[in-house]
Amino acid sequence: MIKNSILDPDMEWIITMIETHVPFGQSILWIISMMASIYIRISRCFLDGLMDITGLYYWTKRNQIPPITNPLLLKTATELAEKTRTGQLKCETLVRVFIDRIKLVNPLINAVVADCFNDAIKEAKEYDQRIERALNDPLVKDDVLELPLLGIPITIKECIPVKGMPNTGGLYSRKDFRVKEDAQVVKNIRKSGAIILGVTNVPEFLLWWDTNNHVYGRARNPYDLSRITGGSSGGEAAIQAAAGAIIGVGSDIGGSLRIPPFFCGTFGHKPSSNMTNIEGNFPYCGHKSRERLLVNGPLCRYAMDLKPLYKVIIADNEKAMAQLDLDCPVDLKKSRFYFLYEDGDSFKTPVSSDIRETLKRARHFLEKDCGFTCIDAQIPLMKYNFLIFLTTLGDCDAPLLGEEIVERRGRLNAWPELIKSLFGRSKFRKITCMNVILENAIYSPQTRHKRWYRKIIDMGKQLGEQLDSMLEDGSILIMPCLPEKAPKHSGTFLRVNNCGYTSVFNVLEMPVTQVSMGIGHRSKMPVGFQIIAKRLNDRFTLAVAELLAKEFGGWQPPCEVRIK
């Protein structure tokens, strides 16, 4: 009955005795299990209530973003690239439109933390000259018209090195650091014809799912400035949601390409593991075995731009291009669609009615309008997703977080720093200090060899095998990204286990696409969900995202649209 629970050997023996020797033993255990579940659920509601009380300090601030007045801000990157390629639109005009928009919205949302506007305008002018020559003289040998993202403005997450830009990872000790060379993914971006406008905000050390640090300050959600943008690609999703960018590049080790798009109503794609070049990303993974959990990937306002940008990100990797075969036609009629409405963990926040209704709307469309086979998923091990992520992350001889946070120049003395941070005297955030303290208490070589620890690791492997079997032949799993809308600022600490919904798929190395489904009727905030497929089946999740975006509209502006 409690086959997959994480129990002490003595406790397992007691349960076996009750089941086999006590009259109505299984019924008794069922009652105990139900009572425990109710107690855990009440505890969860209490903790969520505490976080909601904390959030009362931040007054709701909706409808703060200035209206969109230029139609170019509402076009997809694919459409705009076609216009620049055919000479219908000047790259300089396009770049200036988005620069003006960033200057207008960024003081409110604090998403772009360093810009290279002058270089971008210069680069745009050079492209315009090349385009004009190529269009007017067929004898000119220039591949400029073949560039997939020609003239498209783009922003990059600050943790990914962009020449001349800061690369602090949100650490105050690196506030004056500037990058001397582009990361490979940035080189690929430049080669595609895209024009970089700047880098975007991140949490301190990319450690949390709320974008805030002592270098740049807090990023704010365009739909409600009192709420978080998510992390760690929070600045990237926020500037896209506010129509200050169309596309961008972020990274993901536990949900960073999905949580911010979910909170901000945009799209993101976490690639299959080992498909993207992460060289140069700061912070580092800390150990070779963790590198499979970390990926770079595309964030876009429109679903149709995900695949073109993804192809650019991996353009230097011929093996990845061949394995993924993103241009291969996808026949979704052969796929089965599994729906999971909640992961079964009573200690997570209950899935909101808005998100459940969104999942049901999608299912109705796929089943009734498209004729696809939709099935209720039964995945008992999924409720252990957060534990599976934490144990897998710690299952290696990596330097401790306290060492990494000071770039391996000693070790952070977390308790004194935590006390100093309570009085605003520390250069580290409270949540960073608390994570260091928790890691010191939990992770150790001795802990990793304990029976319960190894059992959780084995559960992760079993879950991966089950999902691989379920998702054969291009089948799809659709489930919540998180159980509720974006929390208020400072309202995340006691909700961190909710991130198990996303982080487990980094462990399982599966591709996941985050889909925007517009604005929730009750929450008045963005809603959506994640689409999961078997490893290397990225093209299937991307195809489903495009299909749903076409039907339901995807991103909805957080402001008025006043096109003259």
Residues annotated within the binding site for substrate are 206, 232, 253-256
How far is residue 159's CA from residue 385's CA, in Å, rounded to a whole number? 26
For helices 414-422 and 430-442, the axis angle rounded to 10 degrees is 150
Tell me which DSSP letter residue 65 carries.
S
Q: Which of 226, 256, 273, 335 does the annotation list as catalytic?
A: 256
How far is residue 435's CA from residue 480's CA, in Å, rounded to a whole number? 26
User: What is the DSSP annotation of 303-360?
Assistant: GGGHHHHHHHHTTT-HHHHHHH-TTS---GGG-EEEE-S----TTSPPPPHHHHHHHH
Q: Which of 83, 157, 307, 488 does the annotation list as catalytic?
A: 157
Tell me which DSSP letter residue 249 carries.
E
CB 200 within 8 A of CB 113: yes
Q: How many CB atoms lie within 10 A of CB 284?
A: 18
How far is residue 262's CA from residue 112's CA, in Å, rounded to a whole number? 19
How far is residue 304's CA from residue 289's CA, in Å, rounded to a whole number? 33
Q: Which of 192, 232, 273, 352 does the annotation list as catalytic?
A: 232
User: Distances from the Cα of 539 to the Cαs of 306, 476, 510, 563, in angstroms?
Assistant: 10, 11, 12, 35
How far is residue 159's CA from residue 368's CA, in Å, rounded to a whole number? 43
CB 236 within 8 A of CB 299: yes
E-strand spans in 45-178? 112-115, 153-157
How far is residue 182's CA from residue 314's CA, in Å, rounded to a whole number? 15
Indicate the burial class of 143 (C-beta count within 10 angstroms; 0-12, 13-18, 19 or more). exposed
User: Distances from the Cα of 393 to the Cαs of 173, 400, 442, 506, 533, in angstroms?
Assistant: 25, 12, 12, 10, 22
* Residue 192 annotated as catalytic: no
How far is residue 236's CA from residue 246's CA, in Å, rounded to a whole number? 10
Q: Among 489, 429, 433, which residue's Cα sits nearest to residue 215?
A: 429
Q: Which residues are annotated as a binding site?
A: 206, 232, 253-256
Phi and psi (nearest 5°) for 232? -95, 0
CB 267 within 8 A of CB 545: yes
Counting Cα atoms < 13 Å in the Cβ hemisphere of 95 gives: 30
Q: How many CB atoms lie within 10 A of CB 39?
A: 11
Here the tokens at position 156 are: 């990059």
* Residue 173 annotated as catalytic: no
From edge to edge, which strands make up the β-sheet containing 112-115?
112-115, 195-200, 153-157, 247-252, 295-300, 267-270, 512-519, 526-532, 476-479, 336-339, 373-376
Residues ≥6 apart with Cβ < 8 Å to 35: none
Here the tokens at position 311 are: 């192809």
CB 561 within 8 A of CB 74: yes
* Residue 503 annotated as catalytic: no
Active site amino acids: 157, 232, 256
